[in-house]
Amino acid sequence: MPTKLHVTHVLNSTSGGSAASTLQLIDALKEHGVTSSLICFENGTPQIRQQITDRLEGRALFRPLFWTNKRIRTAAWKRPLVEGKSWLETLGGKRFLKEFTAFARSHSTDLIHSSTLVTAEGPLLARKLGIPHLYHGRELIGPGQPYQFYRFDRWVKQQLAASSAIIANSQVTLANYKQFFPEQHLRYIPNGVPVNSFTPKFHEERTPVVVGMVGNLTTRWKDHPRLVDLALACLERGLPVEFRMYGQLPNPEDEYVRGMREKIEKAGAESQIRMMGFVSDPALIMQELDILVHATPHESFGRIFVEAMAGGLPLVAA
């Protein structure tokens, strides 16, 4: 009998597009006899982490991970502090390397798959084990893009040396990466979205019309304030509309969310502009909405677009 393949995935978050895509990939690999384990950034609620652990049949480990991207979405004076805190927690990705190595060896790992370009642990672990490493790129990188890296030319060389190949999740991502990486090092594999779980919605006239946006509020380049401004403009015109934002919420004191809440409260629109928090099943979200909007032009794949269309929702995107 052929030897079964085991993949250890390195994931940068318990929620969001990369998490959804990686967990669905794990399910699909299982159907082909490929087993998986997971090393994941330690965020999200205990309930979410337990759901992921159950999905991996116990083969999941949650620890702080070192994010290597320059945090262009925070104030310039805060960036060294954020980077320094992350480095101290993880020693630049090396603090838990011994534990990660033992974890991967316990599952006889054959391949390391990093679900994003922003974590350092995947290539370090693959090098330690002497096995191949794949990057699964979904971030748009370089000048003018949401993801930027210190010493960019040096970072590009490091990514090439640290991976057997870099997978681009869309033609947009592929075109972006071709500017920096040799074409022979790139592979194009679009995200798979299981549309069978969505029931196309037949819309009825109702008020208020429910308009929604899906994207973690910890991800600032999604530009949630743009939706708030749109919502307030609609409400000022007396339109019967309710706006909802779905996605993981940061600390209540986070300035990004606090600024939006203050603007909403000042307008007295708390019941009409709502932050719904994280909802794990996008099919349920689509059943609650009449229209989906997407506020940012910086999107490499936009799986939420596919999910909206599968749910029969009209889509308005920047």
What residue ranges do the domains of the chain occupy?
A: 6-188, 196-317
pTM: 0.79
Q: Do the beta carbons of residue 166 and residue 187 sit within 8 Å? A: yes
Q: Do the beta carbons of residue 241 and residue 271 sit within 8 Å? A: no
CATH architecture of 6-188: 3-Layer(aba) Sandwich (3.40)
User: Phi-psi region for residue 224, left (φ > 0), alpha (ψ -120 to 50) or beta?
Assistant: alpha
Confidence at residue 253, expressed as pLDDT on a 0 to 100 scale: 79
Residue-wise pLDDT tens digits, 207-222:
899 999 998 888 787 8
Residue-wise pLDDT tens digits, 244-279:
999 888 887 788 899 999 999 999 999 999 999 988
Confidence at residue 1, expressed as pLDDT on a 0 to 100 scale: 38
Confidence at residue 3, expressed as pLDDT on a 0 to 100 scale: 65
Confidence at residue 73, expressed as pLDDT on a 0 to 100 scale: 62
Q: What is the CATH number of domain 196-317?
A: 3.40.50.2000
Confidence at residue 70, expressed as pLDDT on a 0 to 100 scale: 66
C-alpha span between 22 and 55 (Å, rounded): 12
User: Phi-psi region for residue 64, left (φ > 0), alpha (ψ -120 to 50) or beta?
Assistant: beta
DSSP result, 225-274: HHHHHHHHHHHHTT--EEEEEES----TT-HHHHHHHHHHHHTT-TTTEE
Confidence at residue 71, expressed as pLDDT on a 0 to 100 scale: 64
- Counting as low any pLDDT under 50, the low residues of the chain are 1
In CATH terms, are 6-188 and 196-317 the same topology?
yes
Confidence at residue 117, expressed as pLDDT on a 0 to 100 scale: 94
Helix (H) or strand (E) holding 187: strand 186-188
